[in-house]
Every structure is written in C-alpha cells, then in structure tokens.
Amino acid sequence: MADSEFAFELRTCAWAERNWHPEDGERPCIVARQLGTRSRRWDTIVVEVDPDALAARRNFGTERLDSDLLHVVRHAPADWAFYRDALPRPGYPWRYVREAVHSAADRGVVETRRNGNKIELRRKWQYPDWVRRIVAIENKPDLDASAADALADQLEQDVALALADEVWLATESTGARERALFAEMPVEAGILTFADGEASVEWHPRSLDPDATGTRITERPSASEFDHSPASFEYVDADWKADKRLEIAERAYERGWRSYLDTMRPDCRHFALQRADDGYVPYCAANAREQTAAECSGSCPEYEPEPPAWRQRGWPLSGGPGAAIRRVLDERRQRRR
C-alpha cells in the first residue's frame, strides 16, 4: 500500500508506462502527471502516440511547443512566404505572432529571412500528427464516501467536456466497501483497482468524442433538498478542444511523470530511490518512508546537504548521488520520448 496519494500517483504512472492499455494490450504512450487546463488538472495523463510520428516530433527538440509556437510550426509553409500571408489569422494582434516567429527561429524549428521590411518564413520539418488519444486518470487510493462524492462530480465534468478520449478512476482495492462507492461514478468513466502491484479493471470506460462540441459545467446545484436551481453550463468549441489537447500533449512530452524531481531535493543525503512494483519512487531514509513532493524541500527539518566528498566521487556517482539520480531519471524520460 502506498504511503500517500503522491506515492500512489507515481505508482499509477509507472504502471501505465509499462502496461498501458489495461484492456487491449500494449499501446505506445507517454505518461505525465498533474496536467490539464486552467480549471481542471488531472493526476495522470496517458498520451497514446504514433511511434513513427513521435520520432519525427524529436526534430522540434525536447522542450514543449506552447500555443504560440504551435501556431507557427503547424502552419509554416514549405516555401518562403510573408508570415502574415502564410499563417492563419490568430484572433490577436499580429505583433505577438511576429514574436512567436522569432522565438521559433531561435529554437531552430523554422527558418526566417528579411525581404525588404517583411519577415518571411518557411518550415524545416512538417509538424507530425503524433497524438492518437489522450486518457485522463484520477487517482484516489483511500476512496471513502466523501472522496467518492467529490470525484463523481469531477468525472462528470470530464465526461461532459470530453477533452480526453477516456477518463478513469484509479484506487487501491480494499474489499467490498469501495465497490459500493463505485456506483456513484459516471458510467462513462473506467475504474482501475490496484492490489499488490497488480491492476484490475472493475469497470470499462466508454470512449468519449473529443472531436465534437463539449459541455463545460460552470455551476451545479448543491445536494440540499432545498436547492432546486438548475445547473449552468457553456458549450466548448471542438477547435478549442483540439488545440488544448495538443498543448497538453506537448507539455506531457516535455515533462513526463518523473518531473517530480524538479520540485524535490535529491541533493539531500537522506534522499534515495527505491524499487516499487513497476518503477522507482523517491524514499526518505530519515523518515523511513516515501516522502511527498511538499515534504521534500529545503524547509524540511531533516534536510541535510550531501557531504562535499560525495560530490567528488567518480562514475557512476559523478557529482554526488543526487546528481546521479537526476541523470538516471532524465535518461529514462528521454528514452520514453
């Protein structure tokens, strides 16, 4: 059993990376965590990919392409053209597009030149259609009645918006009690239960339609018997969903799920990695348990920097154990790309 929701989340990510898809066998994918939109952040994201197109995506570097850069690289012409003639009208001032064109040139993903007082561009590579499907997983190891109510509401909003192709709930199996709570979940959401490192599908999800117009629920009536007010909602354009899906996929490509190390202190002498069921997870020797990202910081009372002598060791611990851990996780993240 995981020590915390954070530890369970890492185990879910590691399992998904090695075993996705739980119903149809192996599917190439990139796994990330804590991504979504401004109003909704998912615990785990699984981006199913086209392997050949993913290989072509590497031409654009390991950093994500944000919405401005995607607007440039996706529509950059094969031959030289004035950027205002080549790119679709953005819906905001062209000066911001010009800045994005310069940024794309600085990143080396397009070519630019001046023709008089005009800036022309052409593509270096065609941006590939590398994303097949996006799956959102909400993790809740200790599912109880209160958590089930909150999760049911969140998953219903995910289903209505249909930004992802599938939505799942992942939890630890504790017996018959949580099965009664599963009934509160929307029928479109899949349910995964984990026990002793093995995942079982308790409920199969329905495929959502991300290409259709979505519904964003903005306000819901309370559960009170005296509240008879209707829910309020707004429609979400399919084009917005397509753009947002690609932005999420780009962020997943950059970060992966091992980015937790960026907010923790692997340079602490007590920091270590230990083998879990499907991958390695952080472990604190001082507290003798798996720590959370919030606990593992410079303000931790047990924090002690690595002794300087540790950082003078040779291979494979060049720069100290913390630096070696960071290299190992970065290499694994790069391998998934």
User: Does one domain contain both 167 and 285?
Assistant: no
Distance CA 133, CA 249 (A): 10
Distance CA 86, CA 122 (A): 9
User: Does one domain contain both 291 and 165?
Assistant: no
User: Does one domain contain both 46 and 71?
Assistant: no
More confident residue, 192 or 279: 192
User: Does one domain contain both 138 and 214?
Assistant: yes
Number of domain units in the chain: 3
Question: pLDDT (tens digit, 9 = 90+) per residue, 5-29?
Answer: 999 999 999 999 999 998 877 899 9
User: Does one domain contain both 225 and 276?
Assistant: no
User: Does one domain contain both 250 and 268?
Assistant: no
12 within a domain of the structure (yes/no): yes
55 within a domain of the structure (yes/no): no
> Which of 187, 222, 257 finishes a domain?
257
Distance CA 114, CA 119 (A): 5
User: Does one domain contain both 181 and 301?
Assistant: no
More confident residue, 149 or 277: 149
What average pLDDT does the segment 201-230 reach?
Answer: 82
User: Which residues are within 8 A (CB) of 210 and not within 5 positions of it... i.e. 6 or more apart?
Assistant: 134, 162, 163, 164, 165, 238, 241, 242, 245
The beta strand positions in 13-156, using DSSP E, are 29-36, 41-49, 81-82, 110-115, 118-123, 131-139
This prediction has a pTM of 0.89
pLDDT value, residue 137: 97
pLDDT value, residue 198: 85
Q: Which domain holds residue 115?
A: 60-123
* The two structure tokens encoding residue 152: 């049911």
Buried b / exposed e across 34-63, counting CB within 10 Å, b at 16+? bbbeeeeebbbbbbbbeeeebeebeebeee
60 φ, ψ to 5°? -95, 10
User: Does one domain contain both 112 and 158?
Assistant: no
* The two structure tokens encoding residue 79: 């031959």
**Mean pLDDT taken over the chain:** 89
161 within a domain of the structure (yes/no): yes
187 within a domain of the structure (yes/no): yes
pLDDT class of 319 with cuts at 50, 70, 90: low
User: Does one domain contain both 118 and 135?
Assistant: no
What average pLDDT does the segment 282-295 reach?
Answer: 91
pLDDT value, residue 316: 56
> Which of 257, 284, 302 finishes a domain?
257
pLDDT class of 306 with cuts at 50, 70, 90: confident
User: Does one domain contain both 234 and 138?
Assistant: yes
* The two structure tokens encoding residue 324: 């070696």
328 within a domain of the structure (yes/no): yes
CATH of the domain at 11: 3.40.1350
User: Does one domain contain both 46 and 68?
Assistant: no
Contact 290/260 with Cβ under 8 angstroms?
Answer: no
CATH of the domain at 79: 1.10.10
User: Does one domain contain both 139 and 116?
Assistant: no
Question: pLDDT (tens digit, 9 = 90+) per residue, 92-103?
Answer: 899 999 999 999
